[in-house]
């Protein structure tokens, strides 16, 4: 398995620190509002990569935080006249609802920044004692030039960065020894949540939070750190500097970053009116459609969101689901029966799709090509497992199909619903009309059912239905 490592800018063989186990940290959202579809991309792509690692037999310790103290949270709390804690708790719950609807598995641990303050104070104290940080009037800054490899992840030169800064003389920035030094701890302002520390009553800077949570739940050095490419600089760069200086060992062996999501080829922005929350999308689409859409491009490729592409993703998901439902119907009864020699040959060919899928995912989690393998399997099933095929063959091909879609986190089979009496009666009346060759009445009832959100499918096994 190869991973493109943002640190080295090359694809590298993945070799975990401990054989059979993977430690993975993914930066989570700042919870001041409903998550948007830009937040959804890393959630989906790295959840899928986690699922694939588990498919390959790894035990994955997957940590993804919630940033529950931040300027935006405080602003939202002040606007509503409630506490920052109340805002954060509300939107953590809403985020979890959206994650469940996208079939994103809960992390092994979802740490909250506010519950890790003691660890942050301890790490900051160590950075001060070793000369990597300093305090000025209650604010603690990281001494950026004390970490000689600063810029290694973003591939930026420290001197070039410094020359790009104007002379900073506002908001206390003139207290810094160097314009590139960043905040580890800051004193509280009126109306802000705060914690006691040796330097001031205040709160941590954003960057130190992830370093401490990764250390506590995964160790001083972790296998994979992931997030959106917008976090490369300064967030992840600063995490590397402070973690390496505090712990004395490399922070993460592999860095994975997903590319940006654009809306109709433009950057998503509230000012442009093209800002969509996941909840907005859920009003029009099953969020499994959003998940398939997100996986339809390689995670390192920019992805363009549009109504046309979402409709295409909806049709693609429908194609997979139709194939899965047809196989399930065929498999009902006798699924465990032995196969004929010809059926065994077809089943063996179906199982070969697993190796093809793995080959694509082994190449830097290429979900786009892995999805193409799934569609090849759907076509294979439609041709080689026709209506009337044995339940045993259908069951074996269905097992391969649902196995691969489960790795992608796509739910393609749902429990059969019980229809209410009115709909059952309409279907029965339509069947009677067809039997009497009253096709006009049969068509009218079909249209009536369609208006109710029920689509009928006439098959050799009888009439089937599904919700539109």
pLDDT 10s per residue in the chain (468 long)?
999 999 999 999 999 999 999 999 999 999 999 999 999 999 999 999 999 999 999 999 999 999 999 999 999 999 999 999 999 999 999 999 999 999 999 999 999 999 999 999 999 999 999 999 999 999 999 999 999 999 999 998 877 776 655 443 334 456 899 999 999 999 999 989 999 999 999 999 999 999 999 999 999 999 999 999 999 999 999 999 999 999 999 999 999 999 999 998 888 877 777 789 999 999 999 999 999 999 999 999 999 999 999 999 999 999 999 999 999 999 987 778 899 999 999 999 999 999 999 999 999 999 999 999 999 999 999 999 998 899 999 999 999 999 999 999 999 998 765 556 778 788 889 988 888 889 999 899 988 888 887 888 776 656 777 666
- CA distance linking residue 42 with residue 65, whole number of Å: 13
**How many CB atoms are located within 10 Å of the residue 403 CB?**
14
- CA distance linking residue 380 with residue 184, whole number of Å: 57
Q: What CATH code is assigned to 2-258?
A: 3.40.50.620
- CA distance linking residue 158 with residue 145, whole number of Å: 8
Architecture category of domain 279-407 in CATH: Orthogonal Bundle (1.10)
Contact between 136 and 175 under an 8 Å Cβ cutoff? The reply is yes
**How many CB atoms are located within 10 Å of the residue 225 CB?**
29
- CA distance linking residue 360 with residue 357, whole number of Å: 5
| This prediction's pTM | 0.88
**2-5 and 10-13 beta bridge pairing:** antiparallel
């Amino acid at each position: 398995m190869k991973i493109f490592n943002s640190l080295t800018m090359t694809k590298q063989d993945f070799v975990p620190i401990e054989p059979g186990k993977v430690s993975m940290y993914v930066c989570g959202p700042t919870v001041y509002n409903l998550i948007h579809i830009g937040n959804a991309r890393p959630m989906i792509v790295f959840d899928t990569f986690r699922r694939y690692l588990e498919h390959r037999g790894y035990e994955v310790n997957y940590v993804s935080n919630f940033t529950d103290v931040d300027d935006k949270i405080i602003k939202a709390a002040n606007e509503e006249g409630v506490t920052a804690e109340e805002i954060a708790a509300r939107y953590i719950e809403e985020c979890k609802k959206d994650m469940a609807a996208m079939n994103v598995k809960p992390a092994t641990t979802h740490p909250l920044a506010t519950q890790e303050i003691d660890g942050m104070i301890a790490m900051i104290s160590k950075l001060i004692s070793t000369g990597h940080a300093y305090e000025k009037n209650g604010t603690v800054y990281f001494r950026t030039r004390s970490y000689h490899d600063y810029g290694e992840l973003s591939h930026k030169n420290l001197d070039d960065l410094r020359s790009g800064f104007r002379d900073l003389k506002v908001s206390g920035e003139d207290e810094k020894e160097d314009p590139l030094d960043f905040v580890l701890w800051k004193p509280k302002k009126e109306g802000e949540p705060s914690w006691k520390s040796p330097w001031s009553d205040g709160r941590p800077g954003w960057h130190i939070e992830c370093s401490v949570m990764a250390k506590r739940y995964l160790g001083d050095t972790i296998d994979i750190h992931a997030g959106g490419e917008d976090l490369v600089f300064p967030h992840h760069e600063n995490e590397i500097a402070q973690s390496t200086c505090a712990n004395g060992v490399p922070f993460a062996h592999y860095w994975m970053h997903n590319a940006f999501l654009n809306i109709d080829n433009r950057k998503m922005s509230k000012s442009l009116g093209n800002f969509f929350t996941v909840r907005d999308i859920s009003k029009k689409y099953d969020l499994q459609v959003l998940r398939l859409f997100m996986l339809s491009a390689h995670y390192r490729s920019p992805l363009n969101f549009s109504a046309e592409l979402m409709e295409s993703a909806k049709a693609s998901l429908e194609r997979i689901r139709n194939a899965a439902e047809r196989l399930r119907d065929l498999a009902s009864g006798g699924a465990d029966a032995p196969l004929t020699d010809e059926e065994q040959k077809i089943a063996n060919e179906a199982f070969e799709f697993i190796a093809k899928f793995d080959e694509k995912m082994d190449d830097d989690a290429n979900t786009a090509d892995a999805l193409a393998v799934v569609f090849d399997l759907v076509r294979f099933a439609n041709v080689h497992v026709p209506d009337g095929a044995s339940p045993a063959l259908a069951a074996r091909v269905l097992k391969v199909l649902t196995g691969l879609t489960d790795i992608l986190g796509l739910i393609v089979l749902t429990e059969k619903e019980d229809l209410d009496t009115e709909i059952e009666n309409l279907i029965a009346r339509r069947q009677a009309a067809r039997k009497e060759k009253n096709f006009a009445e049969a068509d009218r009832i079909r249209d009536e059912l369609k208006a109710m959100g029920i689509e009928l499918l006439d098959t050799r096994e009888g009439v089937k239905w599904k919700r539109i």
